[in-house]
Every structure is written in C-alpha cells, then in structure tokens.
Structure 1
Amino acid sequence: MNTTAYAGIAFRRLHPPTTDVGTVHHSLGAYLDRVTRHCTALVDVLGDGFLRWWSCESGPRYGRYVFELLVEAAEDVRQRRGRSGVLACAGVAVFGPPSAEDADELLCVPVAVAQGLYAGAGLMFGAFVRDRAQADQHGRRLPGPAVSFVVVRPAVFPADIALLERGGDDFVLPAAHDDGRDVFRDVLGGRARVRDAARHYPRVVAHLAAQEAVRREGVMT
C-alpha cells in the first residue's frame, strides 16, 4: 500500500473481540510463540486464553477511534482482572499504516493518552510496531510483528516500575491497584460511555497535556 492509498483509508472495526489470534492475522500466533522465548509469563496468558483481541483498520486521521478501541479493551481488562489477575490482557491490532513510521505516527498519541488516563487504574499500554525489531529487558533481539498492535495489561510490580523509571519523565507510572475509578470523571466532570470515547478524545488530550505541563514545571522547580 502506498502513502496516497493509506491517506484515504477510513476507520473500521474488523471483527468482534476474540481469543482466536488466527482470525486477527495468520502470522500473529507464530510471532507470539517466538516472543514467549523472551517472556515466559506470556505462556500462561496464551495457553489459557487470557489474551483477548480487537482489530481495526485505520487511516492517518483517525487516532481518536483507535483511542476508543483502546478504552474498550482497557475496560474489558479491568473487568476480567477481578477473576484472572495479571493474566487478563488485551491486544488491539491496527491495520492500515504501510510502514513502521506511519504506524508510529498513528499510534503514538492515542497510546500515550490511554496510558495517562489509565495509570491510576494500574494498566500498562505497549505498542509493537510492524516490521520493527525490539530488544527485551536483557538486550536480546525481539522480531518485529507483521501487523502493529497495542498490548493492554495490568502493571506487574515492582518490575514494571523499574522498567518505566529507566525510561525517564516521558512515562506515567501506574498505580499498584485499580480502585475502580471512572477514568473520565476528572476530565469531563461526569461519567462517559466507552462508545463516546472518540468524541471526548480532544478534551482528554488537552486535560492530560495540562497535567503533564504542571508535573514538568514541578520537576524543574
């Protein structure tokens, strides 16, 4: 797909939530099997069906709808965490971007906003960008996936805190426990439905940006 074709893509959901990774993309199952060599905890998540998948196709102008899908997945993880603990996870596959750079541009803000919004609920969001290899915590090379996706999972203490603190001030540290808060209440002054998240996206972005500015000012003084 070229850049012109990508620019014309509208947002659409591709299937209902599922634990069958093969319906999301034919290569994702094999990719996750390879990743388990670097992250043994993933074996239990995959083996018992704790990882639930959402998928969508999106052009470059629809980050707010990607955010809405992340919110839907996050609320599902919160609901399942009461039964499954830290094994309750979600994956949101995002088709459309023809390159790693395009995927970065589409996912960067929605993922950061979701992380800021759900930090108080003890959730982590991590993007895996198509065709881009990563290094694990031991410096070993992780292969790049064939499709970009975002993992939503409960934070694991103290390992995740140490990981994020090494990243510096750009990361919002998650809470140790989910207190059941309505994550939109402080932003909107009231409750919001998950399906309205895209509509509220600009206000959430502005609210978190203002919070971050205050935090950085405090760090500098």
Structure 2
Amino acid sequence: MLVIPAIDLREGKCVRLVEGRLDQETVYSDDPVAMAALWQKKGAQMLHVVDLDGAFSGAPKNLDVIKEILAAVQIPVQVGGGIRNMQAVELLLEIGAARVILGTAAILKPELVAEACSRYGDAILVGIDGRSGRVAIEGWGLTVEKGTIELAEEMKGLGIKRVVFTDIRRDGTLQGPNLEATGELARTTGLRVIASGGVSTVDDLRALKKLEPLGVDAVIMGKALYAGTVSISEALSIAAEEREVS
C-alpha cells in the first residue's frame, strides 16, 4: 500500500482542516515547498497536493506554490482543488503534475471527465467525497443527492480507473478511517481506491491494508503525520512489510 502525505494549501500555507471547515483550521507550515521536500527526504514516494482556496472558489488559486512544489521534488505529485475546465487540467500536467484529481467537475461537468480521460488516461483521477453516503462538492459546502457508489460507477463508465475516496466526517478528526464505506466502494465498483480521511494510528493503516485485495492500494495521510500520531517512517515501514508479504 502506497502512503501519500498530503499538503493542503490555503493562502500559500500548509494547513489542515477538520471536516473541511474553514473555522477549524490549523496552520502547520508557512513553507509548503519545504514541507514537500521534507516528505520526499523522509521517503515518501508520492505527494497529494490540494488547493483548498481553489476548491472553495472553483478555480486554482495557489498555482505559484504548486509550481514551486513540483520543481522542488522528484517524486510524483497528484493535484486537486478547483479544477473545473480542460485548461486547468492541461496547465497542471504541463507544469509537472503526475495526476490531476477532478472532484466537483464529476458532478457538474461529467463531459470534462470523459474528455480528460480520453486525452490523458490514468493521469486523471476523480475525488469522491462522501458525507453519510452522499456526494459533497464545492469544497464540501454542498451535498447532492447522488450516492458515492453511484457516482463511482458513472465515473468508471467514463474511463476513470482510480478514485480518491474521502469520508468527510472523518477528515482531520483522527477518529479512524471509514473502513466499511471504503471497502464497499472498491468491492462494488472494481476501481482502484485511494483512501483518505481519519487515519490516526498504525492500527488504522494495518486495517486499511487488509482492504488491499479489494483494490484499496494507497492511503493519503495528513493530520496524523503533522500531529505526530503516526510518523512517516512508521507508515512507510508498514507499507514495506506489506510488499514483502505480497
């Protein structure tokens, strides 16, 4: 299982929110570029960068910082947040993003997902953010009627092979991931799933690892790493054990 440290950008800083709420923000670094370099130095094999300002506004807002991060590291970086047209997709891939994550666009502009998949294949992921089984969009400010599995099936039909699944109620809370919903999404759809939200202990990682045969092959870690409840070395060690066993 791949462990992917998260770098959430707001006003050029590296922050973490609780359940996506701006009034529950913790600033962990004024220098997200240095943070990205640190995760690479500590052994991370990929980074997850989210433009929170972009997610809330509907258009990328931290492009300068993202460019600096991409220039500072050699490992692949997947980027999401406010990407709602083909120009934004193309720009991020041109400046070096390995993957682009479409979220709100999956609901509002499924034709964009289809076109992006047709052009760029596996470089396009969809972020499925769930609140009580329903999909949340626009920086998690709006919950729609569509279910998470229903959306995943639709995205699979458009060519998506991998999704990032976040249980909003768990994100930034350190209460553990939603194993049931994560496993069900992978089992039902056959998609590759990157789990996100709630990981707080090494036991959480081991529990997620048990879902790997279903297709849950990566986990995004944010607050647990920044708050120190799990070290990057511990997380990577568990991932290495898994590779040795398999």
Same fold (TM over 0.5): no
If the length of structure 1 is used for normalisation, what is the TM-score? 0.30
Q: Which has the higher strand share?
A: 2
Q: Which has the higher helix share?
A: 1
Give the greater-gyration-radius structure (CA): 1
